[in-house]
Amino acid sequence: MTPIDAKRPLQLNEQGQLRHFLSLDGLPRELLTEILDTADSFLEVGARAVKKVPLLRGKTVCNVFFENSTRTRTTFELAAQRLSADVISLNVSTSSTSKGETLFDTLRNLEAMAADIFVVRHADSGAAHFIAEHVCPNLAIINGGDGRHAHPTQGMLDMLTIRRHKGSFENLSVAIVGDILHSRVARSNMLALKTLGCPDIRVIAPKTLLPIGLEQSYGVRVFSDANEGLKDVDVVIMLRLQRERMQGGLLPSEGEFYRLFGLTEQRLALAKPDALVMHPGPINRGVEIESAVADGPQSVILNQVTYGIAIRMAVLSMAMSGQNAQRQLNQESEESN
């Protein structure tokens, strides 16, 4: 499996600032750290009586979801509102594209609404990159998840969760467990962990749910035995079984998956006593994770949701700042000519 990001500089302006946020592949460690630090500064906004800062006042954020996701869409809406932006949310999967309109046609119609930021979620890998390549120059594109490819804000909210509970990444062992083959979250997490200096990234899954070449592409260790893979880890990230993306025959049954790979109290005991339990949601209880673990003292699943709002505030504000800086550079260049 080879990451598809052939045009990574598309995400950055000439000064190296964030302009679009499409994938974590190729982004420098300093920029990922800046996103985490900025999100940290936004966490206290959620504790205020008035949960607003004026950074995007007068700007319009358009959530364009070609694929449903209540959690991601809601947290992006809250993030934009807390930055004082105007917010429009469109479920395109039930409107124009179902009538035969192409992605390009939809894009042009959305541009006519004069939004400043598009948050795009799409079932096809590479859709966010396509849109970023074809929109007018002053629009920022944020990838809210595309196919099996990337979910960069989920990856970063997971990194913020780990950093706030564990400190630095340099001495951690992190296990990612479950449906790796279909998971854009797994890909974003592996890239982020590697970039931030995590020395031991473990991937645990049935062989039928593992992409080819993970070790070479992402520098991870692969385990098909959950008990062996979970031994002495600091963080366990469980993944949702994505039945809607699977072809027949990849799993004998959900019960068999739970027996061999589900995170039970007994299996969690193999990890370190203070190991974190994470899940991007929605949880399939009794399939990926035991309720006693999901609701237990080591679970930080609800914290992930809280940190997700702060991460999305950080990305929205940084992308808009990067677009404004690039616009200023372009104007200065035109004036000098």
Q: Is position 240 annotated in a ligand binding site?
A: yes
Ligand-binding site membership of 71 (annotated): yes
Q: Is 149 annotated as a binding residue?
A: no
Flag whether 264 is marked binding: no
Residue 173 DSSP label: E
Cα 240 to Cα 94, 193, 258, 289, distances in angstroms = 24, 19, 12, 9
Residue 102 annotated in ligand binding: no
Please check if 99 is assigned to a binding site: yes
Ligand-binding annotation for 29, yes or no, is no
Quick one: which H or E segment has residue 84?
none
Q: Is 82 flagged in the annotation as binding?
A: no
DSSP 170: T
Ligand-binding annotation for 137, yes or no, is: no
DSSP string of 89-156, one letter each residue: EEEGGGTGGGGT--HHHHHHHHHTTT-SEEEEEESSTTHHHHHHHHS-TT-EEEEEEETTTB-HHHHH
Ligand-binding annotation for 8, yes or no, is no
With tokens 């947290």, the residue in question is 75
Dist. CA 302–CA 280, nearest whole Å: 10
Which residues carry a binding-site annotation for carbamoyl phosphate?
71-72, 121, 151, 154, 281-282
| Residues flagged as binding site | 71-72, 99, 121, 151, 154, 184, 240, 281-282
Residue list, annotated binding site for L-aspartate = 99, 184, 240
